[in-house]
Structure 1
Amino acid sequence: MSQEEFDIQNSVEGIWTKLGEWLDSIILGLPNFILAVLVFILFVLAAKYLGKLLDKLLRYKVRQASIREITIKILKVVVIAIGFFVALGLLNLNTILTSVLAGAGVVGLAVGLALQGTLNNTFSGILLSFLPELQIGDWIENNGFAGRVVEINLRSIVIREADNNYVVIPNSQVIDAPFKNFSRTSRSRITVSCGVAYNSDLELVKTITLNTISELFPQKKGEEVEFMYNEFGDSSINFVVRFWSAATNNRDILFARSSAIIAIKKVYDQHDINIPFPIRTLEFNNRLNIQKPSAEGDA
């Protein structure tokens, strides 16, 4: 019985001894821990300050906002990562850090295989950020959506459509699919289709149409208003007129086309030129024979 009491007493003393050693280690390592926390906080603040400084410098040399944003994000991540490693070094955790990095490599490979789609979007986002044909503020059409680009991040781009709703498109889809950018050129060619009656003076129609559009939309050097008849329709002779106008988004194109349609209709009315609507004529060759039924037939 005494032997059991002696063993229990030794065990309790061993526990207290170990706790004492841990407490001493904590007390001795507390200054380093506080220093490591302060160093890490300083690196976080430095990353924020350097990000603002880099943004000011890039504004004078890099006009593309997406490049500035992705560069600042990368700088902040690098500075914070350096601060994290320095803090671990102050805590004398270099050996643990090496083991963690080795394990992180294996885990990173597994995670990379599991998140291929996400990583594809990330690398696509980096490519889009440096792509001069796509910038924040541009009006684009992509994957059936049209709107102004308001954000380019590492996962997706965000566009705001004409109805003021936001659409989020994964970066990989933007890279893999064609997109149309209205904002890369200051002028666009507008096409208006119309038709006139078969009894119209086609030369007169062409002349007044060209004059009207040329006055409404002055053409610059190398531009011209084009008029072409293209088909004999069911009830009209159809044509297209093409002209250049200042347009950097779909709204400008719609307004230009609307103004052209109003002007064409007005000048056609002044010259009694008819824009026919589809007419369908029904002919009945058989005559209806209406006879009063006879008395025998009634019976």
Structure 2
Amino acid sequence: MNINFEQAWDDMITRLESWVDQLIINLPNIILSIVVFILALILSKYISRLTLRLLEKSKLQASMKNVIAKLVSVLVILSGLFLVLGILDLSKTLNAILAGAGVAGLAVGLALQGALANTYSGIVLSYIKQIKFGDWIETNDYEGEVVDLDLRAVTIKQPDNNLVYIPNKLVLENAIKNFSTTAQSRVILECGVAYESDLEFVRDLVNKTIVKNFDPVESVDDIIFLYTEFGDSSINFEVRFWIDSTSALEVLKAKTEAMIAIKKVFDENDITIPFPIRTLDFPKKVVVGTTEHPN
């Protein structure tokens, strides 16, 4: 028992001494490795800032520029780490790390297919001109202003100030309606007047009202006025005109102002906007019913 304990103690002392000897021998390499890794950390920061400066002239989104700069910084740090492993003569460890990274990368790629698809879609969206910060867009049944675009989702702010986060993959695969690609937007207003109304007078009155209340509309030639149908209780019309705005919210405001102005002039000229009604036409002789009294 005592012999085994003494043998074990001697083996432990011998191994510790060998470790100390290896530490002393490799001390310069260890110090050099620490210096190299620190330099890699410092260099990654400078290269990240340099990358941001180089990307300032590009048309990428601000969020994408930051992401690219961070990726470059991570690559510099990884390069420094691999260099440290080489200095410490840990080539076998480096090979094991690379092999493990390959297997882990395959497993992570299979598990994160959706996330990777969003990442790829985010990179593509950052290059196309159809969508950028400040644009008012409609996609996937959501409408609002683009306030952010990263590797995961497109963030839009709706007219009610709510934020909607749409995965990049859905935005890239579905139609995008961009209201900000032109300098103007069209306002479309539908209404109806009573059947006894003078249709020509109604048309002229509506056109003059639009010209009077909206500066971008210089004359009645800039307005499209169309009677669309004989409705159940009214003759319906549609009026279209342009405003100097690409915001859907401004379009709604202009439509509201147009409705107020048209309703006001209709009231002043005794023009009726009828609500749905049903007319019952009874013949002159109507037999309501007969009642027979028993004797």
Q: TM-score, normalised by structure 1?
A: 0.84
Question: Which residue of the partner structure matches residue 93 of structure 1?
Answer: 90
Q: 1:55 to 1:66 in 2, by over 3 A?
A: same
> Counterparts of 2:188 and 2:255 in 1: how far apart (Å)?
7
Question: Which residue of the partner structure matches residue 162 of structure 2?
Answer: 165
SS in 2 for 1:227: strand
Please list, as runs of the form range in 1=range in 2, the aligned pairs for 1:56-75 lying within 5 A after superposition: 56-62=53-59, 64-75=61-72
Offset at 1:169?
1.6
Q: 1:72 to 1:214 in 2, by over 3 A?
A: farther
> Counterparts of 1:43 and 1:186 in 2: how far apart (Å)?
49
CA contact (8 A) 2:211 2:218 kept: no
Please list, as runs of the form range in 1=range in 2, the aligned pairs for 1:9-20 lying within 5 A after superposition: 9-20=6-17
SS in 2 for 1:20: helix
Question: Which residue of the partner structure matches residue 19 of structure 2?
Answer: 22
Offset at 1:30?
4.9
CA contact (8 A) 2:216 2:244 kept: no
> Counterparts of 1:29 and 1:137 in 2: how far apart (Å)?
57
Residue 36 of structure 1 aligns with an amino acid whose one-letter code is: S
Please list, as runs of the form range in 1=range in 2, the aligned pairs for 1:125-136 lying within 5 A after superposition: 125-136=122-133
Match of 1:204 among 201, 207, 222: 201
> Counterparts of 1:45 and 1:224 in 2: how far apart (Å)?
62
CA contact (8 A) 2:64 2:149 kept: no
Give CA deviations for 1:201-231 in whole Å, capped at 9, x if unaligned. Answer: 111211222222233242489x931111111
> Counterparts of 2:246 and 2:124 in 1: how far apart (Å)?
24
Unaligned runs of 5+ in 1: none
Match of 1:147 among 144, 148, 154: 144
Unaligned runs of 5+ in 2: none
SS in 2 for 1:228: strand
Question: Which residue of the partner structure matches residue 121 of structure 1?
Answer: 118
> Counterparts of 2:190 and 2:59 in 1: how far apart (Å)?
42
RMSD between aligned alpha carbons?
2.9
Q: How many residues align?
A: 291
Q: 1:150 to 1:77 in 2, by over 3 A?
A: farther
Residue 267 of structure 2 aligns with an amino acid whose one-letter code is: D
Percent identical residues = 46
Residue 222 of structure 2 aligns with an amino acid whose one-letter code is: E
Q: TM-score, normalised by structure 2?
A: 0.85
Question: Which residue of the partner structure matches residue 232 of structure 1?
Answer: 230
Q: 1:85 to 1:136 in 2, by over 3 A?
A: farther
> Counterparts of 1:204 and 1:37 in 2: how far apart (Å)?
88
CA contact (8 A) 2:60 2:126 kept: no
Residue 279 of structure 2 aligns with an amino acid whose one-letter code is: T
Match of 1:177 among 174, 191, 199: 174
Offset at 1:251?
0.9
Q: 1:91 to 1:284 in 2, by over 3 A?
A: farther
Matched, 1:188 2:180: no
Offset at 1:157?
2.0
